Amino acid sequence: MSIDIAWARAELEHFLELTELRPLNHSPGGITVISPRKTTSGAEKDIVASAQVVEQILDRVLPRWRDDVPGNSRVNRWYQHREAVHRAVVVLERDAEIRQRLGDDAPQVSAGTMHPWAWEGARPLWQSGHFRQAVTAAARKINAEAQNKLGRKDISETNLFKQALSQDLPKPGQPRLRLRDDDGSDTYRSVHRGAMAFAEGCYAAIRNPNSHEDGLPELPEHEALEQLAAFSVLARWVDGATVVT
């Protein structure tokens, strides 16, 4: 699902209004005194409520804002949020234009639109820049969800998907996942054969090296996104499959 740009911009602008600093004036005895101290325009409870929404928008638009955007709590508790919001507004307003002008208006992949098993599994580590570990966390999450769906905790990962997607009839304690009805066609057979091979590739060629090889350099974010997308495809297949016992 794509982001509602108009709604997001309105939420961001509202947050900027609430957190804008103004002089802390007071009027004892009817005399207005202008203080060098400043306070936010909005009440703290309103700012906190707005921040709950704004942080989720920032996570979608600028996933690494907590690490990449500087903060200065001495100036304003909400300084980092405001700086990130200013940047996010520009992205929302001009991202498509910038990509077109720079000759890169190809479709963009967003982790936030991937299957929840993939993105929610990866999200905490992803946002802290641990991309390789994030992909591994997504792989574990998808494995756990497949185990839950099949009611199997005795096997995992490659062996789990090999058995689940086998075209053999189910056996006691060995249910199967069916991505489509068995109509006896070549398409039915190729879909399940391909899904089994794809699952094995995800765990053998992506998950295992990421988890078991010490000293590997951190994955570039775009490569990690490609790997995460592969697991998202697998997650959608498993989530939409029918369990046959």
pTM of this structure? 0.64
The chain-wide mean pLDDT, for the chain, equals 88
Residue 28 is part of which domain span?
A: 5-101
Dist CA 58 CA 68 (whole Å) = 12
Q: What is the pLDDT of residues 7-54, one digit of tens each?
A: 999 999 999 999 998 887 655 555 544 555 788 999 999 999 999 999
Residue 209 lies in a domain: yes
Residue 127 lies in a domain: yes
Query: What b/e readout covers 2-39, taking b as 16+ CB neighbours within 10 angstroms?
Result: eeeeeebeebbebbbebbeeeeeeeeeeeeeeeeeeee
Dist CA 3 CA 1 (whole Å) = 7
Residue 238 lies in a domain: yes
Q: What is the pLDDT of residues 56-78, one digit of tens each?
A: 999 888 888 988 898 877 778 89
Angle (CA) 217 118 91, round 5°: 80
User: How many independent structural domains does the chain possess?
Assistant: 2
pLDDT surpasses 90 at 230: yes
Residue 106 lies in a domain: no
Of the two residues 76 and 169, the one the predictor is more confident about is 169
Tell which of 101, 128, 155 closes a domain.
Answer: 101
Q: How many CB atoms lie within 10 A of CB 1?
A: 6
Dist CA 32 CA 38 (whole Å) = 15
Tell me, yes or no, whether 21 and 78 share the same domain. Answer: yes
Tell me, yes or no, whether 82 and 152 share the same domain. Answer: no
Tell me, yes or no, whether 86 and 187 share the same domain. Answer: no
